[in-house]
Amino acid sequence: MNKTASLEWLTIAYHDLKSAQILYDANHYTDSIGSDLQQSIEKILKSMFAYNNEKIPKTHDLYEIYDLLDELIFDDSDIDKLHIATEYLKEDRYPNPNYCLPPRQEIKAVIEFTQELLKKVCTILNIDKSQLS
């Protein structure tokens, strides 16, 4: 058990989530918000590997990371959000004809999912969320 390492991952994840929330409230560009959300979810999931002193997966695919964890069980709706959020992090961020901003309603749903995921993982790892600021 490595609570210190998982706390570090969760603190940075919380910062990404708070940034996304601030940008959303300011009606900022949803592609920027989505990038923060993808990073937050990735770090929340990876905190569980850190807690267990396991090798951190070298992927940004949120479903792949989730699929390696036994402690979390998501329904189909949550798995859909993992796939959606994975798409927010683009390796190639250059404009192209297929590039578009994620809809605000979709971003809002992913923010809510990320908030719940953070609470759930903090509970599983016995970490007080107030330690994450």
Predicted confidence at residue 94, as pLDDT, reads: 64
How many Cβ atoms from other residues are within 10 Å of residue 90's Cβ?
15
Instruction: Tell me if residue 15 falls in helix, strand or coil.
Output: helix
Task: Please give the model's pTM, rounded to 2 decimal places.
Answer: 0.94
Average pLDDT of the segment spanning 20-26: 98
CA angle 124, 52, 55 (to 5 degrees): 130
Residue 127: predicted pLDDT = 95
pLDDT value at position 56?
A: 97
Strand spans (E) along 46-107: none
The sign one gets for the Cα dihedral 7, 86, 71, 124 is positive
Task: Round the average pLDDT of the chain to a whole number and report it.
Answer: 93
Query: Residue 44 and residue 48: Cα distance in Å, rounded?
Result: 7
